[in-house]
Amino acid sequence: MTSENQLKRLPRDFFKRTTEGIAKDLLGRSLVRRTKKGDMITKIIETEAYLGPNDKACHTYNYKKTKRTKTMYERPGTIYVYLIYGMYHCLNVITEPKGEPCAVLIRELYPIDGIELIKENRSVKIGKNYKNLMDGPGKLCMALDITKEKFNGKDACDPKSKLFFAEGNPANPSEIKAYKRIGIDYAEEDKDRLLRFKIEK
C-alpha cells in the first residue's frame, strides 16, 4: 500500500505559511516514523491550528516565553512535543516564519503501513477500522513511540530525521470539515473558533 509519495519529505517552505492553511493542507499527508524495526507510515486525518500570540488557547499567547514554549520560537518544520496530564505527549509542528510561535497539533492518524509495529505499541483493544489505535493526540504518540525526550525541538525537514511529514495524498478542500477545538474551555473568546479540521479515512 506504500506509494512513492508517502516517503517524499515535505520541505521547509511547506511549513513557512499561514498556520490555518497548513492545518488543512496536512490532511491526507503522511506522517512517517522510522525505526530500526522498520517504517511506520500513517495518514493524517485530524489537526488543530494554534495561532500563537493572537490565540488564548495557545501556549504562546501574547508571546509568552517559558522553558516549555522555547521550541515554538524555532524555525518552521521544527517538532514540538510536550507532556500533558503528567502522562501523555502531544505532537505539533511549528509553522509561520521563524519567531512567530504558531503550531499545528496532530490529533488523529490512520495506519497505512507498518501496522504490526504500530499495534505493538498499543496495549488496548483495536476496533474495526482501527478505531482506538490513533484517534487522539496522546494515543498517536504512544502508537508511534513519540516522546519529548526523543523529538522535541528536532527538525522534521532534516533528511536524517526519524519522524517527518511526507507528500501523501493531500485532501480535496471540499472534503475538509471544520470544528471547534477540544479541551480549551479556558480560552475565552477563542474557544469557539473553528480551527479543528478533519477528513474521512
Partner DNA sequence: CCTGCGATCGTCT
Partner DNA sequence: GACGATCGCAGGA
Q: Which residues are at the interface with DNA (CB under 7 A)? A: 48, 50, 57-59, 64, 66-69, 82-88, 90, 92, 103, 105, 122, 124, 132, 136-140, 142, 181-184, 186
Q: How far is the CB of 64 from DNA (least distance, A)?
A: 6
CA distance 71 to 75: 9
- 3 or 121: whose CB is closer to DNA? 121
- 6 or 105: whose CB is closer to DNA? 105
Backbone φ and ψ for 144, nearest 5 degrees, come out as: -105, 10
Q: How far is the CB of 9 from DNA (least distance, A)?
A: 22
Q: How far is the CB of 60 from DNA (least distance, A)?
A: 7
- 59 or 193: whose CB is closer to DNA? 59
* Residue (of 24, 187, 4) closest to 104 by Cα position: 24
Q: How far is the CB of 149 from DNA (least distance, A)?
A: 10
Other beta carbons within 10 angstroms of residue 144's beta carbon come to 25
Q: Which residue has the cell 494515543?
A: 139
The torsion of the CA quartet 43, 48, 53, 57, rounded to 10 degrees, works out to -140
